[in-house]
Amino acid sequence: MSVERADLEAKLREIQGVIEETAHGAKNTAVLAAVGVVGLLLVVYLLGRRKGKKGSARVEVYRLS
C-alpha cells in the first residue's frame, strides 16, 4: 500500500474543513452565550432598581428652631 501526495492533500483538506466547522460553531456559541449573559445582567439590574425604589422609605427631616 502506497500513500500518494493526492491522498494526503485530500485528507488534510477534510481535516481543515472539520476544524473550520468546529471553530465556526464555537464562535456562534460564544456570541450567543455573551448575549445571554448581557441580557440576564440587564434584567437583574432593572429588577433591582425597581425593588430598590419600591422598598425605600422616604424620610423627611424638619429642623425646629
Q: How confident is the model at residue 55 (pLDDT cuts 50, 70, 90)?
A: low
Q: Using only the alpha carbons of the chain, give its radius of gyration.
A: 30
Mean pLDDT of the region 20-39? 93
Rounded Cα distance between 16 and 19, Å, is 5
pLDDT tens track for 8-23: 999 999 999 999 999 9
Higher pLDDT pick, 2 / 37: 37
Q: How confident is the model at residue 50 (pLDDT cuts 50, 70, 90)?
A: confident
